[in-house]
Every structure is written in C-alpha cells, then in structure tokens.
Structure 1
Amino acid sequence: MLNINNLNKNNTYISIWLYLSLFLVSSLIFIGGLTRLTESGLSITNWEILSGILPPLTEKKWEEYFSLYKKIPQYKEINFGMSLAEFKYIFWWEYIHRILARLASLVFILPFIYFLIKKLLTFKQIVLYSIISFLFFFQGFLGWYMVKSGLISKTDVSHFRLSIHLLGAQIILSLIFFSILFRNVKKIHLNINSYLIIFFLILVYLQIVIGAFVSGLDAAKIYQTWPLMNGHFVPEDVFIKEFSDAKSYSSPSHVQFLHRVIAYFIILIFS
C-alpha cells in the first residue's frame, strides 16, 4: 500500500511539474508576442546569462543600458530623441521576457534532473524530456541569434530568425502538451485518416512560421480588408509563380496572402 501511495504521489508531482511548465511556456510565448508588438526586443543589446538576471537598480545603470541602445540603428532611425522613461517601458518588456525564459527553463530542467536521479521516469520519458531540456537551452541561443540580426544594420530583427525562434517555442509547448495528454489518455481512438492529421499539423506549424513573417515584416498593415485584399482575392502585386523565389518571402504582400490561404486550408481540413 505504501508503494502504491508513493507511486501516486510521484505521478502527481510529475503531472504538476508538466502542467506548470506548460503554463510558463504558454506565458512566455504570450509575453514574447507583446514584446514584438511593442517593438521592445532590441532594448537590451547584450546577452547576459547571469549578470542580466538583475535589472538596472541605479540611475547610472539605466543610463548605461540606454547608451548601448542609442548605438543601434533602431534608435538612430526610428526612436531618435526617445526619453529615458520611454526606454524603460520597452526595456521592461524585453527584461520580463528574458527572465520568464530563464524561469521556465529552470522549472523544467531542475525537477527533470531530480526525477531522473530518483528513477521515476521511463526510458521514453527520459528521452523526451532530455530533448525538451536541450530545446530550452537552444531557444536561448536562438533568441540571441534573432536579436543580433537587428543590432548592426537593420532597425528590426530578421523575420526569418523571428519565425525560427517562435517555432522553437511552439515545438517545446507541443511536446509538453502531448506528454501530458499521453500520460492521462492511454489510447486515443480517432476516426480520421492519420495522414490527414499529419498534414493538418504541418499546416498549423507552417502557419505559425508564416505568421511570424507577417509580424516581422509588419505585413498586416499592407491589406486591412477581408475577405478580399483591396478588392482582389489575389492582390495585384502578388504573382503566384514568384513563390518559388525566396525573395517573395520578404515581400509583405506575398506573405500576407500566403498567411490567409493557409488559414483557409486549415479551416477546410478541420471542418
């Protein structure tokens, strides 16, 4: 009886850990979206893994961070003349995003190590949670790789790098979600073709990537009518054959059109 009680208790702890991780990663994606919308992602120009845990605590430290921001193109070309108070506003969004990323990583990795030492996980779980742990570390690198693209010659981050960073977060979220799902549901019966499910999931992830393109290029501002785009299903400046050219994925019009079309396919399959 004692062993059964211990087993149930351990399973409860593991479930709480996974649900908490799911909540934190979801919150991280949400805050990341707000960071993007407020154009705050370039406010911290250094990647400070340990020293960056504490925010500026003195006026001198605030001025140091602000002076670093003044050196990048975004300040010079878009936010020139910004006050320190305005800088603090965008700084806090990026800072919260980075701190939450550290917290989510620690909340997942440290309990995983504990459960591993206590031998409470199956081999499949160990493999899966090891992959997720690696992805948490890799996400940190991808985040900095993305930010770095907007520090030298551009006023914004690369929409390609933005999409990779977002996709990485969504993959982590999905792995944790399905881990929870299969812990609670032993067998799922679906009267749907498995290939259709796979195709549906591919479209969803592709839509996330193209959505990041739309955000990174501010493509949503180009056409603000629906269901037609300025009176046309296919806008006059969009040529279907050009989608074979990589340059078209840097065109706001092409990207927004593709984003809409994929959404229609997803709705069609889901229906």
Structure 2
Amino acid sequence: MKNKNKSIIIWLLSGCFLVFVMVVVGGITRLTNSGLSMTDWHLVTDTFPPLTEAKWQETFEQYKQFPEYQKINIHNDFTLSDYKYIYFWEWFHRLIGRVLGFVFIIPFVYFLIKKKIDKATLNKCYILLGMGALQGFLGWFMVRSGLIDNPDVSHFRLSLHLTFAFITFAYTLWVALDLIYPNRNEVILPL
C-alpha cells in the first residue's frame, strides 16, 4: 500500500475490526443472558472483574437486588458460579469498548499533534468520536431498561444499539476507503 495515509488507514481498519468483535461479543452476551449481570456502569473503575471471593460475593449480592435475579434466576438455583459466567460476557463486552476507545483516542491525538490528518478526514474523525460516545451511551441506556421493573432489555433499545454499531462500522470503513482510494471520483473516458 503506497499511501501517505497508511498509518491512518490501518488505525481506522483496526477500529472496524474491534467494532466487529464488539458486535460478536455483544451477540454472545445477549444469547447467554449476560447483559444485565453488571448492574452499574463506571467508566474507570470496574475495569477488572472482582479479584477476591469477598468482592465477588458483594457484587453477586448487588445483582440479587435487581429484577433479573428476583424474577428469573432466584427460581433456577442460580449460584455464584453461574453469576461469574454471565458476568464475564458483559465485562468482556465492556472491556472491548474501553479498548476500542483507547485504540481510537490515543492514535487520534498523536495524528492531531503530528498534523497527519487532513481537514476533511479530521472532521470525519470528530464525527467518529461522537459516534463512539453515543454508542457507549446507547449501551448504558439499553441495559438500564432491564434494571428497573422488567428483567429484560427493551428490544427497541437493543435494536438501536445494534443498528448504531453497524452504522459506526460502516462509517469507519467509509472513512478508511476514502483514504485508500482518494482518486475514485476521477472518471477516465476512453478516447
């Protein structure tokens, strides 16, 4: 690839890959009914799962205060071991989100400082930054719907979260393709 934007292209395609992984893990999270296992959201703390049995027990006791446990899992002999399994998938999904944030922001700041991003691409990257923040909010908004009365997330919010992930993937790919094929609009007419 002989392109002055090679590092930016690789960065954007890495973002596409991570969004794809995030969607797959999000699907596993949904299929394993793991999405409501983490009952609160902290951007910085809770980066790692509980590290001691006492902390696991405390986290499990918090989970027991919410509808999924009270209306469904209380009747299924749901143990701490079962909880650790569902917790893992939601935690992993959120961890990938954090990694994706770092993979976007750190190189973005570097490219800004080094002035490697042209103005048109820079504006698209600001949009991507906003899309990433909105996607995080939509995830929280979706999970919140299952922590109030109904032990399941709103299908409308889930659809919005997933659809916006697809849109974010497509937009990121489009920005990368713009850099890969900068002269795509030039039409060559035969003589």
Give TM-score, length-normalised by structure 2. 0.90
Please tell me the root mean square deviation across aligned C-alpha atoms, in Å: 1.6
> Partner amino acid for 1:134?
G
1:131-142 to structure 2, matched below 5 A, reads: 131-142=127-138
Q: 2:93 aligns with which of 79, 92, 97?
A: 97
Which residue of structure 2 lines up, in the alignment, with residue 157 of structure 1? 153
The superposition leaves residues 5-58 of structure 1 with CA deviations (integer Å, 9 ceiling, x where unpaired) of xx95x5221122112111111100110011011110000001111111121000
Unaligned 5+ segments in structure 2 are 187-191
Gaps of 5+ in 1: 1-6, 190-271
Q: Distance in 2 between matches of 1:78 and 1:101?
A: 28
Shift of 1:117: 1.6
Q: Residues of 2 paired with 1:109 and 1:162: CA distance?
A: 26
- Give the distance between the partners of 1:184 and 1:135, measured in 2 at CA: 22
Larger CA deviation: 10-19 vs 65-74: 10-19
| Identity fraction in percent | 45
Greater Cα radius of gyration, structure 1 or 2: 1
Match for residue 189 of structure 2? Answer: none
Aligned residue type for 2:51: L
Aligned to 2:184: 187
Match of 2:54 in 1: 60
Pairing of 1:89-238 with structure 2 (within 5 A): 89-185=85-181, 186-187=183-184
Number of residues paired by the alignment? Answer: 182
Compute the displacement of 1:85 (Å). Answer: 0.5
Question: Residue 188 of structure 1: CA displacement?
Answer: 6.3
Tell whether 2:50 aligns with 1:48.
no
Give, as a single letter, the amino acid of the residue that structure 2 aligns with 1:182. Answer: D
The one-letter code sitting in structure 1 at the alignment partner of 2:137 is F
| CA distance in structure 2 between the aligned counterparts of 1:68 and 1:77, rounded to whole angstroms | 15
2:5–2:179 contact (8 Å) kept in structure 1: no
How far apart, in 1, do the equivalents of 2:146 and 2:31 lie? 15
CA distance in 1, matches of 2:106, 2:165: 19
* Change beyond 3 A, Cα 1:83–1:188: farther
The 3-state SS of whatever aligns with 1:53 is coil
Amino acid across the alignment from 2:151: T
Does residue 25 in structure 1 map to residue 19 in structure 2? yes
Q: 1:122: Cα distance to partner?
A: 1.3
Which residue matches 1:85? 81
